[in-house]
Amino acid sequence: MADRLITPSQLALFSRSPVIGAWWEELRAQGLFKGERPPTNKLDELLFKQGNQHEEVLLEWLEAEGIDV
């Protein structure tokens, strides 16, 4: 089984709905979900922004350690 990349969007969705959100995201990842995402709110926007910032810092650190990302 291939490694799965967990994105800030997935974490935000999981934080809003750990059971339904996680299941919905898994269906979407497999191309089985045909619905639409719920509209974002201020919490989502904050989580997306901070998640992306965290990823940038982590990527910079990994690259500085010589890890190919």
The C-alpha atoms of residue 7 and residue 2 are separated, in whole angstroms, by: 16
- Give the DSSP H/E element, type plus range, for residue 31: none
Residue 2 lies in a domain: no
Looking at the 3D structure of the chain, how many domains does it have? 1
Residue 60 lies in a domain: yes
- pLDDT at 58 (0 to 100): 86
Query: What is the Cα 67 distance to its own chain's centre?
Result: 21
pTM for the model:
0.47
Convert the pLDDT of each residue in 17-61 to its tens digit: 666 666 777 777 777 777 776 777 888 888 888 888 888 898 899
Tokens 């800030």 -> residue: 8
Domain span at 48 = 8-64
Residue 12 lies in a domain: yes
Distances (CA, A) of 51 to 9, 30, 33, 55, 62: 8, 23, 24, 6, 16
- pLDDT at 18 (0 to 100): 60
